[in-house]
Structure 1
Amino acid sequence: MKAKRVNILGIQIDNIGMYELIDKLRLNGGVVFTPNVDHLIKLQKNREFYRVYQEADYRVCDSQLIMFASHFLGQPIGEKVSGSDLFPAYYRRCANDESVKIFLLGGLEGVAEQARININAKVGRNMVVDTYCPPFGFENDPVECRKITRRINNSGANVLAIGVGAPKQEQWISKYRSRLKGIEIFLAIGATINFEAGNVKRAPAWMSSAGLEWLYRLALEPSRLWRRYLVEDLAFFVLVLRQKFNLNHKRNFTCEKNLFESR
């Protein structure tokens, strides 16, 4: 019997399948974060991001590399549930459920609106009821954030899909979810809005299965992603090896420490 949660670098990841998760969300709602390698590295160093991550109802594996690591560590995750797979699976599953109404928050100007048009055409109804592309730095502008929360509340949506990058999207959910009275499901989905709009293509399935989706994205956006993938995220492999041999120490942010430091 597989473990319900798997510990990867100090983060408890839910060992749950795509459609089991969707059924749970439809029944009880909840907040979903989708940890990938970049998240796991940021979580070693960013105490606020780590705190916010603990608030999620579900943390599901968004990386084939994490899948490989879980097998290496002897606690295999059964299924990769990336945000870019979960979101379309969710709206297709709910296509005939008129009560499901989605708000898209994220993307550059016009991107979320194009995603709305595409999704509504696929499901044959006005499931995505409204969208908003926030300006750069919106998360630090209380006036702008109040405007966003009012717009979401006035839309009648009960599902918020936010794609503004990590840790921004997770921290925004944590800060403002209590003000979004009608939202029952919160999905932090990264670049998924761009994929749904069609202005960014996903990696071929074979690359994703081989753990090479990062390479495809790097080829598309080298100037933005080279440091993340070729410098910062390399520490993931070192930390997994340390976990394998019990060399990682428990995180203690009150002492300004992280997993890169020994005690």
Structure 2
Amino acid sequence: MENAPLRRAYAGILLAAALYGAPRRAAALAAKGRSATRRQSDPAPKPRRRRATEPSLPPLSKRRLFGLDVADVTLDEAVARIIAWSREVPARTVATAHMGHAIALRRDRVFARAMGEADLVLGGARPFLWVSGDEGGELRSLIRGEDLVEPLAAEAARAGRSLFLFGPTMSGLHQVAKGLKRRHPRLELVGAYAPPEGFERDPEVHREILSMIRTARPDIILVAMAAPDGEVWANGMADTVRHGVFVTVGRDLGTARTGTGALTTLFALPSLYVAHRGDRAEHGAAERRRAIAATSDERYRATRAGTRQRELDEAASDRAKREAGRR
């Protein structure tokens, strides 16, 4: 469908009819799609009622692997963290990294920045386990993008969180949505969208997607796009919409394995390992410089505070002496 309003209406009607079987709900979703270019006179949508903020999460343990700060967490811990973040502001991004990410990092600065700004990076390829095992102990879990879909849907249904599906084709999203809703009847799916090819360079489609997500206000957005496009798009959207957790899960939502080819990975591993060692050395040196700077700053502040206190004490002593002389 070339026409944007028709594409939006089709997305809303198809998903609503599949999941809810209610004409009223279908019409409502279709109307949301058609209102992507909202008139200024129209009232703004009511914000979703927010629950109390979840308790603070424990510190996130990270390992520096192949130029990425990979979280050392189990699948259950990753899901719990995403659920906890899902009702907080600002928006967050979660990336599941395979060796294709490590290769792309070396030639794509925009992608490297998006991965560096991600709130949670999960290692999804065996070389992450191998290298971490050689450097102090293996990561506790290998977590691929498709591994997150089912447990996230189950926990979202239990916790009352809403999902939005963003992927390559509406027919594929339709099938995934039906399966998730069948297995998790309480799951709230608030929308789905399959953008046209090259949508990243189309301002009209970008405004359309922004309107959809701002209207639906999903707690979790599952992004099924291949790297580096998915991570770069999710990072930009998180900065723009300011709510929800954008989780990139690879090219497909729980169907195909993501990642670069086995032969490509095999041939790239030696150079990737050399790059990893160089990055570790550079990262360690930067950490030491920051620690030294922080220590120096603390010493300077302590010295300055001590000097200031001595000046105050001397001034008070001088005043006391003058007052004693007047008497």
| TM-score w.r.t. length of structure 1 | 0.74
Q: How far did residue 143 of structure 1 move?
A: 1.1
Q: How far did residue 160 of structure 1 move?
A: 0.8
Distance in structure 2 (CA, Å) of the matches to 1:107 and 1:82: 19
Q: Is the partner of 2:209 in helix, strand or coil? A: helix
Q: How far did residue 178 of structure 1 move?
A: 3.1
- Map 1:25-64 → 2, pairs under 5 A: 25-29=82-86, 30-64=92-126
Q: After the TM superposition, list the runs of 4 or more consecutive aligned residues in structure 1 that deviate by more than 6 angstroms.
A: none
Q: How far did residue 136 of structure 1 move?
A: 0.9
Q: Is the partner of 2:253 in helix, strand or coil? A: helix
Q: Would the alpha carbon gap of residues 231 and 176 (structure 1) be closer, same or farther in structure 2, given more than 3 Å must change?
A: same
> What residue in structure 2 maps to residue 82 of structure 1?
144
Q: Provide Cα deviations, 1:32-76, integer angstroms capped at 9, x if missing partner.
A: 111111101111111111111111110011112321232134442
Q: Provide Cα deviations, 1:59-100, integer angstroms capped at 9, x if missing partner.
A: 0111123212321344421111211111211111222233x1
> What residue in structure 2 maps to residue 220 of structure 1?
none
Distance in structure 1 (CA, Å) of the matches to 2:248 and 2:195: 15
Which amino acid in the other structure matches residue 114 of structure 2?
V
Distance in structure 1 (CA, Å) of the matches to 2:98 and 2:241: 27
> What residue in structure 1 maps to residue 208 of structure 2?
147
CA contact (8 A) 1:32 1:188 kept: yes
Return 5+ residue gaps in structure 1 as ranges: 203-212, 215-224, 252-263
> What residue in structure 1 maps to residue 199 of structure 2?
138
Q: How far did residue 142 of structure 1 move?
A: 1.4
- Map 1:79-118 → 2, pairs under 5 A: 79-98=141-160, 100-118=161-179
Larger Cα-atom Rg: 2
- Map 1:185-196 → 2, pairs under 5 A: 185-193=245-253, 195=255
Which amino acid in the other structure matches residue 190 of structure 2?
V
Which amino acid in the other structure matches residue 184 of structure 2?
V
Q: Which moved more, 1:108-117 or 1:63-72?
A: 63-72
Distance in structure 2 (CA, Å) of the matches to 1:232 and 1:96: 38
Matched-pair identity in %: 21
> What residue in structure 2 maps to residue 260 of structure 1?
none
Q: How far did residue 170 of structure 1 move?
A: 0.9
Q: How far did residue 168 of structure 1 move?
A: 0.5
Q: Would the alpha carbon gap of residues 48 and 82 (structure 1) be closer, same or farther in structure 2, given more than 3 Å must change?
A: same
Distance in structure 2 (CA, Å) of the matches to 1:248 and 1:24: 27
CA contact (8 A) 1:84 1:191 kept: no
Q: Would the alpha carbon gap of residues 123 and 247 (structure 1) be closer, same or farther in structure 2, given more than 3 Å must change?
A: closer
Residue of structure 1 aligned with 2:81, choices 20, 24, 27? 24
Distance in structure 2 (CA, Å) of the matches to 1:10 and 1:33: 14
> What residue in structure 2 maps to residue 230 of structure 1?
263
Q: Provide Cα deviations, 1:18-43, integer angstroms capped at 9, x if missing partner.
A: 11122222223432111111101111
Distance in structure 2 (CA, Å) of the matches to 1:66 and 1:92: 27
> What residue in structure 2 maps to residue 72 of structure 1?
134
Q: Would the alpha carbon gap of residues 113 and 180 (structure 1) be closer, same or farther in structure 2, given more than 3 Å must change?
A: farther
CA contact (8 A) 1:116 1:130 kept: no
Q: Would the alpha carbon gap of residues 232 and 63 (structure 1) be closer, same or farther in structure 2, given more than 3 Å must change?
A: closer
The answer as to 2:88 corresponding to 1:11 is no
Residue of structure 1 aligned with 2:185, choices 102, 124, 145? 124
> What residue in structure 1 maps to residue 314 of structure 2?
none
CA contact (8 A) 1:17 1:78 kept: yes
Residue of structure 1 aligned with 2:233, choices 151, 165, 172? 172
Which amino acid in the other structure matches residue 269 of structure 2?
F
Distance in structure 1 (CA, Å) of the matches to 2:253 and 2:279: 39
> What residue in structure 1 maps to residue 24 of structure 2?
none
Q: How far did residue 121 of structure 1 move?
A: 0.9
Q: Would the alpha carbon gap of residues 113 and 76 (structure 1) be closer, same or farther in structure 2, given more than 3 Å must change?
A: same
Q: Provide Cα deviations, 1:91-141, integer angstroms capped at 9, x if missing partner.
A: 11222233x111101122411121111111110135222111111111111
Q: Would the alpha carbon gap of residues 233 and 166 (structure 1) be closer, same or farther in structure 2, given more than 3 Å must change?
A: farther
Distance in structure 2 (CA, Å) of the matches to 1:233 and 1:151: 41
